[in-house]
Amino acid sequence: MKSALIGAFLALLGVIAALTGILSGDALIALLDRVAPVLGFVVGLTIVADLAAEAGLFAWLAGAAARFSLGRVWILWLLVVVLAVLCTVFLSLDTTAVLLTPVVVLVARKVGASPLPFAFTTVWLANCGSMLLPVSNLTNLLAVHALGNPAPLAFASLVAPAAAVGVLVPLVGVAVRYRRELSARFDVVTVDRAEDRPLFLVAAIVVLLLVPALVSGIEVWIPAAAAALVLVIAFAVRRPGALRLTLVPWGTLLFASGLFLVVAAAQALGLATLLSEVVGKGDSWPDLLRLAGGAALSANVANNLPAYLALEPVGGSSVRLVAILIGVNIGCIVTPWASLATLLWHGRLTGLGVEVPWGKFAIAGLVITVVALPLATLLLTL
């Protein structure tokens, strides 16, 4: 609700900018042409994720991880890591934050383990682990346009070293901080069967086919929309009560649309000129680190979406654009509002009665950022 209200306010500012001539008609059309496929992808993938969760797919995966962890918390944690990385890379960070968070917390409680290592692993991998593919993060989808629309595998080859840093550094942080909790043991649990077997199978097949479709080079909103349609039809036949208007992420759409409009208006007023003085130019390691650091600071002050859009015009090269992505993806883990995924993650934890120690969250996120950003940007220069 808060994000929707903020989005409505930002959208109102965008409308005022359009009415006063700050945003021209051509600029609005260009913005719509760029962001409509991105928002369409968000809608399709959110519906797929919600209905797949409703069919029991994610709960089954987490339960299977608990079953095959041999009674050891650290093995369960590693299996959750694999699940979180795969979910983030192929189904986006918001999917991980929204759907995987409650599953891993409930599984941790089921085996008598502390939920915090699993909760922090989920949110850090959702953000920091979202570098590898365009579909992994909205910022990546926006960057694809500026990078010349590379195929998914070409995009992955460009960002792979930074993506590896974004996964490994948070994992080392969790392993060190929660080493005692992760060394515990538990009794082996059973995997719960899906209530509706046909729906479960349809969801599993749809998600299994969707993953390669998202990296096939087709515009990602097309397979996401097709997958959503198949699941909507399946649920209309088997469980129509699960179909509701709230499956569409109206708040997210309004929030993102408002951010896009406001940043476009700010760009028209010369924001890029101001930012270029702050983040500098050049492709050397100190230059890239300065740019990534500025992007991370912008993301934590505002949010990673407007931070990326504001800084994109000062990119100028593929390596500098990747440095911006490093900042807004890997570096957006200090403040709760730095990414929508973190806000969604916190909302799920609150609903489960898990208290987030924000002071420790910010300090740990700062430590991870201070370590990861120099490493990730250094690898860009090698």
Contacts of 218 (CB under 8 A, 6+ apart): none
Res 189: pLDDT: 67
Model confidence pLDDT, tens digit, residues 124-147: 999 999 999 998 998 998 899 899
- CA–CA distance, 225 with 332 (Å, rounded to integer): 29
Residues with pLDDT less than 70, the chain: 1-3, 189-192, 272
Work out the end-to-end distance of the chain between its first and last CA atoms, rounded to an integer number of angstroms: 45
**What CA–CA distance (Å, rounded) separates 122 from 348?**
12
Using only C-alpha atoms, the chain has a radius of gyration, in whole angstroms, of: 20
Report the C-alpha gap between 141 and 137 in whole angstroms.
Answer: 7
pLDDT for 24 equals 80
What are the distances in angstroms from CA 148 to CA 142, 155, 217? Answer: 11, 10, 13
What per-residue confidence (pLDDT) applies to 235? 96
What is the predicted pLDDT for the residue at 192?
67
pTM of the model: 0.83
Phi then psi dihedrals of residue 9, to 5 deg: -65, -45
Give pLDDT, residue 2: 65
Please check whether residue 315 is in contact with residue 348, taking contact to mean a CB–CB distance below 8 angstroms: no
pLDDT at 214: 82
CA angle 234, 240, 241 (to 5 degrees): 140
Interatomic CA distance for residues 188 and 69, integer angstroms: 8
